[in-house]
Amino acid sequence: MTSGIAVSPHRKAPPAARRREVSAVQQRSGRRRASARPSIDPQGALHIFGQGGVSLRRGPEGTPRRPDLVVLLRPRAGSSTEATYPRRQRMFKTLKEDIRVVAERDPAARSTLEVLLCYPGVHAVVIHRLAHRLWGAGWTLTARFLSNVSRFLTGIEIHPGARIGRRFFIDHGMGVVIGETAEVGDDVTLYQGVTLGGVSLNPGKRHPTIEDGVVIGAGAAVLGPFTVHKGARVGSNAVVLKEVPADVTVVGIPARPLGPQPVETREGKPCFPAYGTWPGVATDPVSRALERVCVQLEEVEGRLRELEAERTPERRRATAGS
């Protein structure tokens, strides 16, 4: 006689089969967790501290314990995180150099904290380096927006496409403008009101290239796609429209080279030429030429007065005889 109770088609598996099924699930889960963990490179991590092998801390009985924390934090070899480490190190090294160079070129800087808080030139350079990385990564609108924020905060406008070298110093800073295709080398100094501009609508290279060690004084304008070579100095309010040779000082409108310049030294080393000129140096070759002309005119006028004084008695005698 058949019972009215329905029997489920799913029967319980035997205990041994169920244990095998659970074990297989645990193994698959363990493999997934193992593949998700970052691999550890202890030797590479401990190499930071100058050790050549894996060094584990040991307990009282000499049994090994877990490795140091730095071992676990070491990025996996070949990973994108590992490739990022050198870039971060270079970024922080560049930032330290940008701060340290202020004390070398500005005697008013008294501490690192003062430089970080009170120097808009440093703020502008730091923000530009971040904006330039965004620009290179294709985030052009974000880079331009960040550059605009920097201009609002510091009064310094640096296009995120401009290439800036190491130890770049903008003193005072207000009104500095650096265009998109400008290239600035290492150890360059700009003062307030400097313009590195372009005079062409060509979308290609249209801004100047400033090589290492150049100093550009306040209010100067360097306009065009030419090069200001290594160690050159541009005097205040000069307008540079053509290439400047290395280790030459140019001044005036348009800028012209001065003659050999005296170099001040301190402890056997050349001093930093503030504002691009040494004290007591004439500013403009045209002005110097005009001064020489004025001196010569004064000498000629003096000689004429002497000649007139010599001829005056003769004229008097001739008048009396007639």
Structural domains in the chain plus CATH codes: 80-261 (2.160.10.10)
**pLDDT for res 179:** 92
Which residues make Cβ contacts (< 8 Å) with residue 160, sequence separation at least 6? Answer: 128, 131, 132, 134, 135, 140, 143, 144, 146, 147
**pLDDT for res 294:** 85
Task: Tell me the two tokens of residue 197.
Answer: 């501009």
Half-sphere exposure of 106 (CA within 13 A, CB side): 26
Which residues make Cβ contacts (< 8 Å) with residue 261, sequence separation at least 6? Answer: 249, 277, 278, 281
Q: Round to whole Å and give the CA distance between 48 and 74.
A: 10
Residue 162 · residue 181 · CB < 8 Å: yes
**pLDDT for res 258:** 80
**pLDDT for res 99:** 85
Label residue 78 left, alpha or beta by phi (over 0 means left) and psi (-120 to 50 means alpha).
Answer: left
The answer, yes or no, to whether the previous bond of 254 is cis (omega within 30 of 0) is yes
* pLDDT tens, N- to C-terminus, the chain (322 residues): 444 445 445 555 556 666 666 677 667 666 665 555 544 444 443 343 333 333 444 445 554 444 443 343 444 555 444 455 566 667 778 888 888 888 888 888 888 888 889 899 999 999 999 999 999 999 999 999 999 999 999 999 999 999 999 999 998 889 999 999 999 999 999 999 999 999 888 888 999 999 999 999 999 999 999 999 998 999 889 999 999 999 888 988 888 888 655 555 545 555 556 666 655 555 566 667 777 888 888 888 888 888 888 777 777 667 766 6
Question: Residue written as tokens 């001064």?
Answer: 291
Helices (H), 37-155: 42-46, 69-73, 80-105, 112-118, 120-136, 140-154
